[in-house]
């Protein structure tokens, strides 16, 4: 999966979280940082399970699967986890080329 596809999924999850939970996320950072992305997917999944929100659960799992090398969220059921396509470990970290200049410094 390429960066722009992951960003698009992150944007969908961002909107859903904002509307359903009031939680505001950093969309670009979700798509570029695996740890933060996993944490937000886990948060969404927990909320979806406790409120029986199938749409949010689907978005959370889809986004989690899009993260490079990321395992499925801890609370995902075996059935749903197995249904999620495997993440692409070769997908590049970093969002877009222009962002790479910010590694290790702002200027």
Partner 1 sequence: MQMVQMAAIDKADTAWLLVSTVLVLLMTLPGIALFYAGLVRRKNVVNTMVAVFAVAAMVALTWFALGYSLAFSKSSAWLGGLERAWFSPMRLDAAAGTVSVSHLAPHLPESLYALFQMAFAVITTTLIIGAVVERMRFSALLLFSALWSVLVYAPVAHWVWESDGWLNKLGALDFAGGAVVHVNAGVSALVCAAMLGRRQGYGRQAFEPHSLGWTAMGAALLLIGWFGFNAGSALSADGRAALAMLVTMVAAAAGALSWMLVEWWVRGAPTLLGVLSGLIGGLVAITPAAGFVQVGGAVAIGLIAGVACFWGATWLKRRLGVDDSLDVFGVHGVGGIAGSLLTAVFADRAIAGVDATVLNQLVAVAAVALYSAVGSAILLTLIRVVLPLRVTAQQELDGLDVSLHQESQN
Element (H, E) at 49: helix 34-50
Position among 1, 21, 36, 80 found at the interface with partner 1 (CB under 8 A): 36
Q: How far is 63 from 28, CA to CA, in rounded Å? A: 13
Going residue by residue from 76 to 95, which x/- string records binding to partner 1, judged by CB under 8 A?
A: -----------------xxx
Buried b (16+ CB within 10 A) or exposed e, 93-103: eebeeeeeeee
Position among 12, 21, 27, 49 found at the interface with partner 1 (CB under 8 A): 27
Using alpha carbons, select from 45, 78, 71, 58 the residue that is nearest to residue 9. 58
**Would you say 77 or 102 has its CB closer to partner 1?**
102
**Would you say 19 or 79 has its CB closer to partner 1?**
19
Residues of this chain that bind partner 1 (CB under 8 A)? 18, 23-29, 32-33, 35-36, 39, 93-95, 99-107
């Amino acid at each position: 999966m390429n960066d722009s596809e992951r960003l698009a999924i992150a944007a969908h999850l961002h909107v859903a979280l904002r509307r359903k939970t009031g939680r505001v996320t950093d969309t670009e950072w979700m798509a570029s940082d695996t740890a933060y992305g996993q944490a937000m997917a886990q948060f969404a999944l927990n909320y979806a399970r406790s409120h029986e929100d199938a749409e949010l659960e689907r978005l959370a799992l889809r986004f989690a699967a899009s993260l490079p090398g990321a395992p499925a969220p801890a609370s995902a059921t075996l059935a749903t986890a197995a249904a999620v396509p495997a993440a692409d470990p070769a997908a590049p970290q970093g969002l877009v080329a222009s962002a790479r200049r910010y590694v290790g410094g702002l200027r």
